[in-house]
Structure 1
Amino acid sequence: MQQLQVDFSELIKNKTQITYLKGETIFKQGAFAPYIIFIVRGLVKVYLQTGFEKQINISLAKSGDFLAFSSVFGEKIHTYSAQALKDSLICMIEKESLTEVLLQNPGFALDVTSKNYRNERHLLELIRNISYKQMRGKLASALLYLSQEEYLKEDVFEFLTRQEIADFASISTESAIKFLKEFEKEEILQLDGRCIVITNR
């Protein structure tokens, strides 16, 4: 693992690195995708634009995660959008450079493949939730996703508005606020400003 870290450090050392401030768009759905994106440091919201001023938040990406990885396989257009939830340092990597590292480091390639598999499972679960669950269930599933240990370490709820949480559940902001209050009364969670702590899973 240490060797992989050294190899990858060399990969990103001489690449273009850009700091995106909180709220800035890193790339837009439908735009040209010339690079694979690596999050050196930060927290990013990934979403689909589904209509004018309408979107579905599909996932979060944190330090050490890749975005636009399909560019490695020839995808030329971004199929989703990404926005910085907090100030984030982003590295732009040419697909040829990353492909070379993947070919030379099977362990690293397997780790990346494993992450992509987990993302795929999450997307399938998201589709199922949106298609079949009632609004309360949609919000509950979104909260469980956002409160995974890897995201709690990032204090994700401090960076998410109620509208953004609603967009993770594909429900209205008003419904999200209503159900959050219901969950609090039922002692399923605790609310403190933006902070949400799930006490009963």
Structure 2
Amino acid sequence: MPKSVVFNGCSVGENPLCCFDELSNEEVSFFEENSVEVNYKRGETICKQGSFASHIMVLKKGLAKIYLENGNDSLILKILPAINIIGLPALFDGNSVFPYSAQTYMDCTIKLIEINAFKSLIEKNALFASKIISMLAENSVIINGRFFCLTKKQTYGRLADVLLCLAQRIYKTDKFPLQLTRKDLAEIASMSIESTTRILTKFKEDGLIIIHPKFIEITNIDKLTEISQIG
């Protein structure tokens, strides 16, 4: 299966900011002149679904979630580590609002780029525009994979997906810091906190993971992948 096709991921796997490598020195200066850097605390809202989209946001440091809201209900579309872009769907003509909300999982540093300036770079630089299109395409694949996971897999498969995504696409190591709470993991896997805790305990007892106070280590990635695949 091609590397870009992902049916169990919850995040992009490569460095999306490689698109900025295509900018000339003059365009980089223009980018800097039309942007500002802001620090966000854990739990702060980065953008609100339905609000006016005045900026495209670059997550330079931290961890965040992208989600849909409907009253008291919410659905996480993906989680974003540092070096990611938030708000690209707002670039479409005729759409002036954010189609989703974004919130920090931990303290974050974000660069806000004036949206018309960002559009100007796309219009003037074909290589930059091509990279943005590629990112939007990958995001669509990831969202499709998320919906498949949430609608077709059982709880064990969904939580295995989350752990694999954290290891392979967020932290890129089988031993990663426990920066997400049980509630966060449950929300991503779309299950109760009780079920999440029970399955984590089962994975631990079966020798698939080791849970420490400050980190989780996947010790049997083949078996966890099998659970993910069979759902």
TM range (shorter): 0.7 to 0.9
2:137 is matched with 117
2:184 is matched with 164
Larger deviation: 100-109 or 180-189?
100-109
In the TM superposition, 1:68-107 aligns within 5 A as: 68-74=87-93, 75-107=95-127
In the TM superposition, 1:183-194 aligns within 5 A as: 183-194=203-214
**Structure of greater relative contact order (alpha carbons < 8 Å, 6+ residues apart):** 2
In the TM superposition, 1:7-46 aligns within 5 A as: 7-8=27-28, 10-46=30-66
1:55 is matched with 74
Q: Is the 8 Å Cα contact of residues 35 and 95 (structure 1) preserved in structure 2?
A: yes
TM-score w.r.t. structure 1 length? 0.86
Distance 2:74 2:176 in 1: 19
RMSD (Å) for aligned C-alpha atoms: 2.4
1:64-122 residue CA offsets vs partner (Å, 9 max, x unmatched): 31111112113222222111222222222222211221233322222222222222111
* Pairing partner for 2:218 from 172, 183, 198: 198
Distance 1:46 1:36, change over 3 A: same
> Which amino acid is 2:81 matched to?
K
Give the count of matched residue pairs. Answer: 199
Q: Secondary structure at the match of 1:148?
A: helix
In structure 2, list runs of 5 or more residues that go unmatched. 1-17, 222-231
Q: Is the 8 Å Cα contact of residues 46 and 58 (structure 1) preserved in structure 2?
A: yes
In structure 1, list runs of 5 or more residues that go unmatched. none
> Which amino acid is 2:64 matched to?
V
Q: Is the 8 Å Cα contact of residues 46 and 60 (structure 1) preserved in structure 2?
A: yes
> Which amino acid is 2:55 matched to?
Y
Larger deviation: 7-16 or 42-51?
7-16
1:67 is matched with 86
Q: Is the 8 Å Cα contact of residues 65 and 104 (structure 2) preserved in structure 1?
A: yes
> Which amino acid is 2:76 matched to?
N
Q: Is the 8 Å Cα contact of residues 39 and 66 (structure 1) preserved in structure 2?
A: yes
Distance 2:214 2:24 in 1: 35
1:1-59 residue CA offsets vs partner (Å, 9 max, x unmatched): 7563743464034423221112211112222222211223332222222441x433221
Q: Secondary structure at the match of 2:43?
A: coil
1:153-173 residue CA offsets vs partner (Å, 9 max, x unmatched): 7x8753211111111111111
